[in-house]
Structure 1
Amino acid sequence: MPDLPWSVYAMLLAPLGLFLVAAVVKTWQAREARSWPQTPGRVVRSVAEVREVRVSDDDREEGHRLESRNFANVTYEYAVGGRKLRNDRISIGEDLGNFQVAVKLAKYPAGSIVTVYYNPRHPDQAVLERDLPKGLWGCLGIGTLVVLAIVFGSAFGLNQSYAYLAHHIARPDLAGLVVGFGAFGLAVALMGFAVQRQASMATRWPVVPGTIKLSGIEEYHEASEPGEARGSEMFGNRVTYTYRYRNVSYTNEWARVAAGSPATSDKMAKKLMSRYQDGATVEVRVNPDNPAEATLDARGDGRIAYVLWGIAAIFAAIAVFVATRGG
């Protein structure tokens, strides 16, 4: 085991722990739902819709920002004890948006007859699917092993690298700095490869027409720095676009621009929109496996990889400089 503080491991493994806790809770809910009675119901609404979802953002004072995501709104009616009820929850699992929108709409079209499973203690709580995805725990088990291997393998590798460098560079006290710069550069380089691969796949996605939309100005405060009472006030614009794929409408986000004043933010938005005018028709590349995922410029997205590789090269060069020159 690498000689690292327990807090480092806790920080690295915290996301995995939260994910496993969520899986346990959902499994318990699914087991509870297996005993729920069933009743026939009818789908009265089945359309795609855009909802504003809170997304974590540590750069903001409130710790989150709003993001537009696509959902399948499947509303169904059913009766329990003579009461006519409505619900729009499909499954026990949480719907985070931008996933299987078209699949859900096709499975539950308006007017179709469905089986509704409802909570006998609270009949207004109901679902159409009470089972979790098959193989969930198998995937979680494999994923857990992979994460543990990466975390402890990386920690062991960094520890061994530190020990090796401490005996082979002019300034052993700088070995930690060399390892840190090198590890960060490697991580950024791997991110670049992931971005380049995704962009390469996107160039082969089918193309459909879309329309540029520009939202109004939003106001927020940046997260405050130590010693500050409050962060700086910021003004931003969200540039989005809409498109249709196989008769389902979607909305996606193209870019966000932000500045310290409304005038500057508006100027930045206009500069961005000089390429994509508000209301203009554009070509949208759509992921056929998940149509809620799309891009306006796959090749431009790929160019981000070169930026990341440039940053990685800088950190690698700094690591080599520190290792050979001694600071």
Structure 2
Amino acid sequence: MLVGFACVVAGALSFITFMKWREVKALSRWLPTPGKIISSRVEAREVRNSGVGSDSTDTTEMRNFPAIIFEYKVGNKKFQSSRYSVKENLGNFEVTETLAQFPRGAEVTVFYNPADPSKAVIERTLPDGAFKFMVQLSAGLVIGAVVLVFSVGGVLEAIGPHLPKPQNLGAAALLLFMGLFILSMGFAQKALAEQAAKWPIVAGRIDTSGLQALRNHSGYGRWRTVFKSRIVYSYGVAGQRYSADRVTFGATVTASLPGLVGGQARQYVEGSKVDVHYDPVNPGSAVLECRVRGLGLLWICSAGFLGGAAFLVGLV
């Protein structure tokens, strides 16, 4: 199962890499022309995150993007475009660096499509070694999964005879893996919160405060409406205005009854002033409270899985 999953992921990565390679190859035939940056700023966008599995919820997240607009001329006709690079940007990534690279008023070389001059980019190549890295990553996923499966199998065979109930070793190994995975998630979230407590603090403002209705797929083709708190705040760093909606670290809490998740909306009233902790390396990433929501539940779940694994093999 693990090997199959790794093959699926590797196949998806290989397909994405191939499509991007085709795009870069096509862009290499585009023609150069002088251009100029006419706008360079931070733009906040609401990005949808679709859940997976039998119990999934479509949620949204506020992310910051570099919004670069440039103009160029082909023949006697002037064009404008906002696609500055062939690289994909999922938000909250190298925003400050990109704005510094393409400041307003800067003269740039624009590459346009001779068949359709309205399509153009400034950066038409990916970083050196990007394609090689993606191919190596795809192969590494499959090879790593195969090695892991055989290694785990050997370990289980070695320790089985020394356990009181070796017949339950397979199920116990699954519970052990799940427990360790949840435990690592808890420590990772806790480390993020501790790191955020050391971030610089800047004054911010609550722009939106309320509840957001979401569609939740609960299996058997049924959809139901659930609610979550929706807090959007803005803050300024180095002359740029950013927006974010992360109040705490940890999981998003949803409920069928609005009253069960309305606490944050009552705490953070629209228009009120707040202290915002922002990442000095990546100012688009911020949080209001440096804590992990539901951390105790992660510890309990991890302990339950680890305890269940020990019980199955007769250690407790």
Taking the TM superposition and a 5 Å limit, the aligned residue runs for 1:49-68 are 49-58=43-52, 64-68=58-62
Q: Deviations over 1:173-214 (max 9, x none)?
A: 322211111111111222223223323322222221112233
Q: What is residue 170 of structure 2 aligned with on the other side?
A: 176
Structure 1 stretches of at least 4 aligned residues deviating more than 6 Å after TM superposition: 59-63
Matches of 1:219 and 1:271 in 2, distance apart?
15
What whole-Å deviation, never above 9, does each CA across 1:7-57 have from its counterpart, x for those lacking one? Answer: 542223323332232223222322222221111122222221112223221
Corresponding residue SS for 2:89: coil
Q: For the residues of structure 1 that align with 2:205 and 2:58, how far apart are their CA atoms? A: 27
Distance 2:27 2:255 in 1: 49
The answer to whether the Cα contact below 8 Å between 1:46 and 1:74 also exists between their aligned partners in 2 is yes
Q: How far does residue 148 in structure 1 lie from its aligned partner after superposition?
A: 4.1
Residue 190 of structure 2 aligns to a residue whose secondary structure is helix
Q: Which residue of 2 aligns with 1:40?
A: 34
Change in CA separation of 1:177 and 1:214 when aligned onto 2, cut-off 3 Å: same
CA 138–289 in structure 1, closer or farther in 2 if over 3 Å, else same: farther
Kindly, what percent of the aligned residue pairs are identical?
Answer: 29
* Partner SS state of residue 73, structure 1: strand
CA deviations over 1:87-138 (Å, ceiling 9, x no partner) = 1001111222211222222222223222110111121111011110223235
Q: Distance in 2 between matches of 1:238 and 1:180?
A: 36
2:179 to 185, 188, 212: 185
- Which residue in the other structure is 2:265 paired with? 273
For residues 19 and 56 of structure 1, do their structure 2 counterparts lie closer, same or farther at Cα, with a shift above 3 Å needed?
farther
Aligned to 1:120: 114
Q: Deviations over 1:208-229 (max 9, x none)?
A: 1112233554434321423xx5
Q: Is this contact kept in 1: 2:56–2:218, CA < 8 A? A: no
Q: How does 1:75-94 map to 2 (within 5 A)?
A: 75-94=69-88
Q: Which residue number corresponds to residue 10 of structure 1? A: 4
**Paired residue type of 2:37:** V
Task: Determine which structure has the larger strand proportion and give its number.
Answer: 2
Amino acid at match of 2:271: G
Report the equivalent of 1:323: 313
SS in 2 for 1:184: helix
The superposition leaves residues 45-84 of structure 1 with CA deviations (integer Å, 9 ceiling, x where unpaired) of: 2221112223221279997433222111111111223222
Alignment check: 8 A CA contact 2:231 2:268 kept: no
User: TM-score, structure 2 length as denominator?
Assistant: 0.86
2:102 equivalent to 1:108: yes
Residue 297 (structure 1) aligns with: 289
Greater alpha carbon shift after TM alignment, 139-148 vs 242-251 = 139-148
| Cα separation, 1, equivalents of 2:129 and 2:218 | 43
Q: 2:93 aligns with which of 93, 99, 110?
A: 99
Query: 1:258 deviation in Å?
Result: 3.3
Cα distance in structure 1, aligned partners of 2:55 and 2:116: 38
Aligned length: 312
Q: SS in structure 2 opposite 1:114?
A: strand
1:324 shift after superposition = 0.9
Q: TM-score, normalised by structure 1?
A: 0.83
Partner of 2:233 in structure 1?
241
Gaps of 5+ in 2: none
Q: Which residue identity does 2:309 align to in structure 1?
A: A
Q: Secondary structure at the residue paired with 1:123?
A: strand
Q: 1:277 is aligned with what amino acid? A: V
What residue in structure 2 maps to residue 3 of structure 1?
A: none
The residue type equivalent to 1:285 in the other structure is: H
Which residue identity is paired with 1:246? A
- Find the residue that maps to 1:222 and give its secondary structure: strand
Query: What's the secondary structure of 1:324's corresponding residue?
Result: coil
CA offsets 1:141-179 (integer angstroms, 9 cap, x no match): 554465346423432343234434543444443222111
Contact residue 209 and residue 265 of structure 2 kept, 8 A: no
Q: CA separation of 1:275/1:16 partners in 2, compared to 1, >3 Å: closer, same or farther? A: farther
Kindly report which structure 2 residues correspond to 1:195-214, keeping only aligned pairs within 5 A, or say none: 195-214=189-208
Shift in alpha-carbon separation, 1:98–1:124, aligned structure 2, 3 A: same
Does residue 126 of structure 2 align to residue 136 of structure 1? Answer: no
Structure 2 counterpart SS, 1:187: helix
| Counterpart-to-counterpart distance in 2, 1:113 and 1:90 | 13
